[in-house]
Structure 1
Amino acid sequence: MNRLRMGVIGAGLWGGNHAHTFNVLPETDLVGVCDLDEGRALKMKESYSAMQAFTDYQKLISSDQIDAISVATPDFTHTPIILAALKADKHVLSEKPLATTVREAEEIAAAAAKSKGKLMIDFHNRVNPILAQVRDMIQNGQIGLAKHGTARLSNTTFVPLEMLSWAAKSSALWFLGSHLVDVLRFILADEVVRVYSVARSGTLFAAGVDTKDFHVSVLEFSKGTVVTMENSWILSRDNPSLVDFKIEFVGEKGQVQADPTHNGGLRKIVDGGLKYNDYIGITPTGATRIGGFVLESIARFVDSVVRDAPLLADAQDGLANTKILAAIEESVATGKAVNIG
């Protein structure tokens, strides 16, 4: 079997997940890694047994030794990298969001339609076992038509103040809301037609990061479901997890409630108090397999290229996601509800 020759762009935390996956799967060879910081690129090369390290993504993309790339760079940097790869007819896996403006997302979608390469967006919660079951329950009619719901995906202040060096160029909406909007579209198998949102600033600004503290949004779907969505970056660090993730739907015949934050079965008490460890996102496996939904979604990209399996999420999913997030930003700016055509 011809192995898929991969290049990973972005040597941060999530780039490490990509590099690890492509280093383990028997269908792939990790040929190249890239980061603007040469030291980080070389460290990733060594850690994941890549063949080459680059500091210029154009050189990685133009290499005839690479068939496909994955983009694990900050939210606002995706567009030029994806466009260059699609123009070179490379297959592309991109972290969310596809782009942070509708114009850029439309440009990428048009390029994807013309390219010989496939484009997949890594909306990994589509293979989160908890959320996949919620989708099945709703699509099987177990609670009837979902009439209304609440969805919360928020972080403690650790994320914008310490984890992300580029938090001021993003927000909880783009960093977290991009995941949550896709989850809602996926679970409901429906499109958002109207949004209204409010946001506030101050707490993060006072701490030196000039971005919104939170967005609270109302999403109206075409079949009638109304969901209140929260994305915050100012949760207390005393939370047992830096992520707080909850979803509930009320239907005509019942309710479904999900807490994908953790399963609650693995807890530790240390100097910082009670903490929960994730054991469904990444799980131990054999030497040539990937476990847990976080890495499984990356492996689905390989399936789509090597076995022609359906894409987990395509360019149109990414475009729809960006349109909704941009409409939320417009609603915050204008104080009015925004229709999505």
Structure 2
Amino acid sequence: MKTAQRPIGLAVVGAGYWGPNLVRNAQATPAFRLEYLCDIDIERARRVLGQYSTVRASASLDEVLADPAVDAVVVATPAATHYAVVMAAIEADKHVLVEKPLAASFVEGRELVEAAEERGLVLMLDHTYCYTPSAQYLRDLIRTGGLGDLQYLDSVRINLGLVQRDVDVLWDLAPHDLSIFLSILPEGVSPVSVSAQGSDPVGAGRACVGHLNIQMNTGAMAHIHVNWLSPTKIRTIVVGGSARTVVWDDLNPLQRLSVYDRGVDRADPAELGRDARAATIVSYRTGDMVAPALTDKEALRSVMEEFAESITHRRAPLTDGRSGLKVLALLEAATASMQQGGVSMPVLTDLARSPEEISL
């Protein structure tokens, strides 16, 4: 466990696609001292570290977890291995930051959350987009009432992507948008049901195109479109409120956020007299567009800083284990809906109990 006399000893497990980014940001975070890069392919780990690195490469997770210099572990292994690796780290009394998704199922994810909470350990999800300046600005704007009442959320995340071997497009791409939505929702707004549809036009054996609809307890709706087969890359989120609407274009570095004072206002029925029963009268509001100035900071650096601060101050991070569990609940409901032709499925609302024990 961390002491006040030294930095937090850290090990990164997994030297694949995301591992080098984690190594770079861990080494740039003063609160951490990177002790190990662990991978079953030790030569790959050594290549990532470089010839002159003082960080140790290891092919043994047991060796890493047995070292008292390691206080925390970052897990960047395939999703199917998350449960075993994260649970081993928790049982070794290590804090854990894990890539999405938390686990392969809600039941496994809940076991990890409970194990970490029982030991007083930080369990955090690397939901990187939640730590972007755009997401942080949007969260503050929504939660301070700057958008008015939330009306809808709409996300498009499509590109000519890598068809995954172990998950469909919903499980691969939708966690990004689900985690963003959960992190920016105002107090008291939560998902209650999900419907999803998917298609496999190329015969990959899993859905390559997916549409997911989420109904909120306030009547607001969220929609997510994900696609591995699009020749163009689009990453756009639109959040509509009764006062303003925000468009987040993540591929536009010069103007990622645009805040529009434009929308539809409903006339007060009391002012319409007898005609109010005949028609719903609306007026269209056209105001200014503002592009807020955002800081230019790598989101993964903020992830590492949040992980370190959560360990140091013994507090829950923004994307804690329970937020990862909510994402799993939504994904499992979406999968069940897709398997049944798109019917609406309830979302688990009591994360402390098993699916079999919950009646919604």
**How far is 1:254 from its partner?**
3.0
Verify: 1:297 aligned to 2:297, yes or no.
Answer: no
Q: Which SS does the other structure have where 2:229 is aligned?
A: coil
Alpha-carbon distance between aligned partners in 2 of 1:133 and 1:64, rounded to the nearest angstrom: 39
Tell me the equivalent position of 1:92: 96
Change (3 A) 1:137 1:327: same
Mark the runs of 5 or more structure 1 residues left unpaired by the alignment: 161-166, 267-279, 284-290
Tell me the equivalent position of 1:182: 179
Change (3 A) 1:197 1:156: same
Do the aligned partners of 2:133 and 2:295 also contact (CA within 8 Å) in 1? no
**RMSD of the TM alignment (CA)?**
2.3
Q: Which SS does the other structure have where 2:15 is aligned?
A: coil
Q: How is 1:136-175 mapped onto 2 (pairs within 5 angstroms)?
A: 136-157=140-161, 159-160=162-163, 167-175=164-172
Tell me the equivalent position of 2:244: 254
**How far is 1:76 from its partner?**
2.2
Give percent identity, aligned residues only. Answer: 25
Change (3 A) 1:86 1:48: farther
Q: Which SS does the other structure have where 1:13 is aligned?
A: coil
Q: 1:233 aligns with which of 225, 228, 237?
A: 228
Do the aligned partners of 2:15 and 2:45 also contact (CA within 8 Å) in 1? yes
**How far is 1:83 from its partner?**
0.5
Do the aligned partners of 2:8 and 2:71 also contact (CA within 8 Å) in 1? yes
Please tell me the residue identity of whatever aligns with 1:247. Answer: I
Change (3 A) 1:51 1:258: closer
**How far is 1:250 from its partner?**
2.4
Q: 1:135 aligns with which of 139, 142, 148?
A: 139
Please tell me the residue identity of whatever aligns with 2:22. Answer: H
Tell me the equivalent position of 1:272: none
Alpha-carbon distance between aligned partners in 1 of 2:52 and 2:344, rounded to the nearest angstrom: 47
Question: How many positions carry a matched residue from both structures?
Answer: 305
* TM-score in terms of structure 2 length: 0.79
**How far is 1:307 from its partner?**
4.1
Alpha-carbon distance between aligned partners in 1 of 2:105 and 2:54, rounded to the nearest angstrom: 33
Do the aligned partners of 1:297 and 1:312 also contact (CA within 8 Å) in 2? no
Deviation by residue 1:121-177 (Cα, 9 ceiling, x = unmatched): 1112222111222222222222321112311222323x33xxxxxx11123212221
Tell me the equivalent position of 1:194: 193
Moved more, 31-40 or 325-334: 31-40
Tell me the equivalent position of 1:70: 74
Q: Which SS does the other structure have where 1:2 is aligned?
A: coil
Q: Which SS does the other structure have where 1:66 is aligned?
A: coil
Please tell me the residue identity of whatever aligns with 2:347. Answer: I
Q: 1:6 aligns with which of 10, 13, 16?
A: 10
Alpha-carbon distance between aligned partners in 1 of 2:67 and 2:52, rounded to the nearest angstrom: 19
**How far is 1:59 from its partner?**
2.3
Q: Which SS does the other structure have where 2:194 is aligned?
A: strand
**How far is 1:116 from its partner?**
3.5
Please tell me the residue identity of whatever aligns with 1:312. Answer: L
Alpha-carbon distance between aligned partners in 1 of 2:25 and 2:54, rounded to the nearest angstrom: 12
Q: 1:42 aligns with which of 28, 43, 46?
A: 46
Moved more, 184-193 or 301-310: 301-310
Do the aligned partners of 1:30 and 1:51 also contact (CA within 8 Å) in 2? yes
Deviation by residue 1:64-121 (Cα, 9 ceiling, x = unmatched): 2211100011222211111111111101111111112111111111111112421111
Alpha-carbon distance between aligned partners in 1 of 2:101 and 2:49, rounded to the nearest angstrom: 26
Alpha-carbon distance between aligned partners in 1 of 2:168 and 2:139, rounded to the nearest angstrom: 27
**How far is 1:23 from its partner?**
1.7
Q: How is 1:102-117 mapped onto 2 (pairs within 5 angstroms)?
A: 102-117=106-121
Alpha-carbon distance between aligned partners in 2 of 1:75 and 1:155, rounded to the nearest angstrom: 21
Q: Which SS does the other structure have where 1:148 is aligned?
A: strand
Change (3 A) 1:59 1:106: same
Do the aligned partners of 2:196 and 2:213 also contact (CA within 8 Å) in 1? yes
**How far is 1:306 from its partner?**
2.7
Alpha-carbon distance between aligned partners in 1 of 2:155 and 2:166, rounded to the nearest angstrom: 24
Alpha-carbon distance between aligned partners in 1 of 2:184 and 2:299, rounded to the nearest angstrom: 16
Change (3 A) 1:221 1:50: farther
Alpha-carbon distance between aligned partners in 1 of 2:95 and 2:200, rounded to the nearest angstrom: 39
Change (3 A) 1:154 1:77: farther
**How far is 1:178 from its partner?**
0.8
Alpha-carbon distance between aligned partners in 2 of 1:67 and 1:10, rounded to the nearest angstrom: 17
**How far is 1:300 from its partner?**
1.5
Larger Rg computed on CA atoms:
2
Tell me which protein shows more helix as a share of its residues: 1
Do the aligned partners of 2:134 and 2:294 also contact (CA within 8 Å) in 1? no
Do the aligned partners of 2:169 and 2:210 also contact (CA within 8 Å) in 1? yes
Alpha-carbon distance between aligned partners in 1 of 2:122 and 2:108, rounded to the nearest angstrom: 18
Tell me the equivalent position of 2:105: 101
Alpha-carbon distance between aligned partners in 2 of 1:3 and 1:146, rounded to the nearest angstrom: 42
Mark the runs of 5 or more structure 2 residues left unpaired by the alignment: 257-292, 349-360
Runs of 4+ with deviation above 3 angstroms: 280-283, 307-310
